[in-house]
Amino acid sequence: MKTFQWLVIVGLLALTAGIGVRMYTQWQSEKKPQSLSAFSFPDVHGVAQTSEAWRGKILVLNFWATWCPSCLQEIPAFMALQAKYGSEKVQFVGIALDDAVAVERFQASTGVNYPLLIAGDWAGFALAKKLGNIMSAIPYTVVVNSAGIIVYRHMGELSADELTSVVEPLR
């Protein structure tokens, strides 16, 4: 029985070390500059929108879904910040990991003042992962400077104050 317990302990330590190395590697890679790759998704009207349309602007990309309470919690702050900074070449873009009907209904009921793109599950999570979301968690927010370089990533609900502290210096 003692041998089994030692094997379990050693296995757990190895697993913990592996997770630690993975997290450290991800943390290091997030510190390296990464350019935003071009992407295209339809908006709530089915019209394809490409990231190239916002070239030269500070982009705040928010991966979200209508079924995600934390996602819905941060959207009013994003709307306020879009209204505040929109004339200063800051563009929020919501990338919905959801279906078009739910997003269109949400848009109609809330009047979100920035583009909402429909990425669906797989394509949306694939882009989020490419942009550093190794956990495939939402909400997930990425800030891209006007030169197209990712300067900030945030997993989980993001406060208006924290996002403002990232966007302000970029303007």
- Measured in whole angstroms, the distance separating CA 109 from the mean position of its chain's CA atoms is 23
Averaged pLDDT, 136-145: 97
Averaged pLDDT, 127-134: 95
DSSP strand pairing (149-155 vs 116-118):
unpaired
Selected residue with higher pLDDT from 100 and 23: 100
Confidence at residue 4, expressed as pLDDT on a 0 to 100 scale = 76
% of the chain beyond a pLDDT of 70: 88
Give me the residue label for tokens 């949400």: 106
Q: What is the mean pLDDT of the chain?
A: 90
Selected residue with higher pLDDT from 4 and 73: 73
Does position 112 have pLDDT exceeding 90, yes or no? Answer: yes
Confidence at residue 28, expressed as pLDDT on a 0 to 100 scale = 46
Confidence at residue 9, expressed as pLDDT on a 0 to 100 scale = 74
Q: Is the dihedral of CA 143, 149, 151, 152 positive or negative?
A: positive
Q: How far apart are CA 152 and CA 135, in angstroms?
A: 16
* pLDDT tens track for 21-35: 555 555 544 557 899
Q: How many other CB atoms sit within 10 Å of the CB of residue 40?
A: 13
* pLDDT tens track for 49-93: 999 999 999 999 999 999 999 999 999 999 999 999 999 999 999
Confidence at residue 126, expressed as pLDDT on a 0 to 100 scale = 96
Confidence at residue 1, expressed as pLDDT on a 0 to 100 scale = 65
Confidence at residue 50, expressed as pLDDT on a 0 to 100 scale = 97
